[in-house]
Amino acid sequence: MVSFVGFGLPAFILMLILSSLYARYHAVPSIVSLFNGLQVVVVAIVANATYSFGKSTFRNYGDIVVAMAASILFWAGVSPFIVILGAAFAGAVSQNGKGVVATVEGKTDGNSFKQLFVLFLVLLFGLFMLYLMDTKLLNLAMLMIKIDFFAFGGGFASIPLMLHEIVNVRGWMDSKTFMDGIALGQVTPGPIVITSTFVGYIFHGLPGAIVATTAIFTPSLLMGVILTPVFDRLKSSVYFTNATKGILASFVGLIFFVSMKFAMDVHWDIFRVLIGVAFAALFKKIDVLYVVIIASVSSVLIF
C-alpha cells in the first residue's frame, strides 16, 4: 500500500495541477498553440509504444496475425474488451506449447489471504460510499477499475481502452481533448495511466480526479497481492502462458489503431510535419520529457 501511494502520489499531484490549469485556460490562444504541437508528439509517443511493444511481443507470424485481427476488429467497432478476451482464448487453445512447462511450488500464506480479504472489504465499502454520495463517481470508479483490470502489459495498454470507453462510448470528451490529457501525463514523473486523473477532473472536478486515480490503480494492487505468491505456478502452465501471449499481441494491434486514429485527428500542415519528423527522436531513445519540453516551446513559437 505504501509503495503504491509513493509511486503514484507525485504524478497525481502534478497532474491535478495541470488538469486544473488546462480546464481554466485551454481556450487561451497561446495554450491552443501549445497543444497543437503536443498532439503531434502524442501521435509519435503512441506510435513509438506500438513499435516497442511489438518488438518485444512478436515471436512468430501467429502473433502478427492476432495483432492485425485486433486492429481490424477495433476499427470495425468491436469492443476492445471482447477483442482481448478473444485473443486470450485463441492463445490458450493454440498448440504453441504442450503440457506443462515446469512444476513449481508456490508458497501461500494464510495471513496474506486475510490481508487480501481486508483489501476487498475496503474496496467494497469505498464503492458503497460512492453509491451513497454520487452515482456518477461510482460509474467513474467502476469504469477505471474495468480498464485497469484488462490493461495487461503496461500502462500504454490502457490507452485504447480509455479511448473506446471515454471518447467513443460515453462521449465525455473528444479525441483531441483526450490527446491533450495524454500529453500532460508525459510531463509528470508517473505512468501513463495517470491520464485517468485528467479524465476524472474534466468529468467531475477534484472528486472525480481522486476517484479515477484511486480506481485505476486498484486492480493492479489487488492482482499484485493475489498473484505474487502463486505467480511461479501460473507461469508453469502453458495455457496461462499462451493466453498471456495472445493478450499482449492483441494490444499491439489495439495501440497501433489508436496511433492511426490520433494521427487522423491531427491537422497535418507543413509545420506539424516538421515537428513530427523532429520528434522521431523518440525512436532514438531520447527521454520523452525532453521531447515534450522542446515540442512545447516549438509549438508556441510556430503556431
**What's the pLDDT at 270?**
67
Q: Residue 287 domain-assigned?
A: no
**What's the pLDDT at 104?**
45
Name residues whose C-beta falls within 8 Å of residue 140's C-beta, 6 or more positions apart in sequence.
Answer: 200, 203, 204, 208, 211, 212, 215
Q: Which domain holds residue 206?
A: 2-28+56-260
Q: Residue 118 domain-assigned?
A: yes
Task: State the Cα–Cα distance between residues 272 and 132, nearest whole angstrom.
Answer: 48
pTM for the full model? 0.83
Q: Residue 296 domain-assigned?
A: no
In the block, residue with C-alpha cell 507461469: 235
Cell of 103: 512444476
Q: Residue 279 domain-assigned?
A: no
**What's the pLDDT at 91?**
85
Is the distance from CB of 222 to CB of 123 less than 8 angstroms?
A: yes
**What's the pLDDT at 33?**
79
> What's the structural domain count of the chain?
1
**What's the pLDDT at 290?**
77
User: At residue 154, what are phi and psi to the nearest 5 degrees?
Assistant: 125, 170
**What's the pLDDT at 138?**
95
Quickly list H helices, the chain.
2-25, 29-57, 61-75, 80-93, 110-133, 135-150, 158-162, 175-185, 195-227, 231-235, 238-265, 270-278, 288-302
Q: Residue 89 domain-assigned?
A: yes
**What's the pLDDT at 178?**
93
Class of residue 26 by CB neighbours under 10 A (exposed 0-12, middle 13-18, buried 19+): middle
Q: Residue 122 domain-assigned?
A: yes
Residue 237, SS3 per DSSP: strand
Q: Residue 76 domain-assigned?
A: yes
Q: How many CB atoms lie within 10 A of CB 110?
A: 7
DSSP letters spanning 154-188: SGGGHHHHHIIIIIIIS-SS-HHHHHHHHHHHTTS
Q: Residue 281 domain-assigned?
A: no
Closest by Cα among 184, 205, 169, 165 to 26:
184
Compute mean pLDDT per 10 residues along the chain, 303 residues long, and list them.
86 93 88 80 85 87 90 92 91 62 51 78 91 93 93 82 92 91 82 91 94 92 79 78 90 91 80 66 73 77 72
